[in-house]
């Protein structure tokens, strides 16, 4: 039993040391308490405020930028592929079995 209590205390100290308790209580839960019109979804409110309380890692911003660039390149390649397929279709012989009616 004392081992279980010791584990709980260690976990509690870990949460306190890492700033989790401070962020949850002082920033998120207090903001929810002070919200004049309580939101329909407290969980969505917590998620939104946790994201705001935790500034974005610079690496994430870089990855978002790279993702946007790759999406643009992908769109350009898809368009080029469509044009090339249209051009290629001009040089392909007509399929047999299709009759002009």
pLDDT digits (tens, 9 = 90+) for 68-90: 999 999 999 999 999 999 999 99
Residue 48 CA to residue 67 CA, distance in Å, equals 23
If you average pLDDT over residues 18-35, what whole number do you get? 85
Per-residue confidence (pLDDT) for residue 87, from 0 to 100:
94
The answer to whether 49 and 24 are in contact (CB under 8 A) is no
Contacts of 19 (CB under 8 A, 6+ apart): none
Per-residue confidence (pLDDT) for residue 99, from 0 to 100:
56
Residue 47 predicted with pLDDT over 90? no
Confirm whether pTM is higher than 0.75.
no
Percent of the chain with pLDDT over 90: 33
Q: Residue 20's closest CA among 32, 29, 7, 8?
A: 29
Residue 22 predicted with pLDDT over 70? yes
Residue 9 CA to residue 6 CA, distance in Å, equals 5
């Amino acid at each position: 039993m004392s081992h279980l209590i010791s584990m709980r205390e260690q976990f509690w100290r870990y949460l306190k040391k890492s700033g989790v308790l401070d962020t949850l209580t002082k920033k998120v839960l207090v903001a929810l308490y002070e919200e004049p019109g309580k939101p329909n979804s407290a969980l969505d409110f917590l998620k939104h405020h946790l994201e705001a309380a935790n500034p974005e890692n610079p690496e994430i911003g870089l990855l978002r930028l790279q993702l946007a660039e790759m999406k643009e390149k992908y769109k350009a390649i898809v368009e080029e592929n469509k044009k090339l397929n249209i051009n290629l279709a001009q040089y392909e012989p007509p399929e047999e079995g299709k009759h002009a009616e």
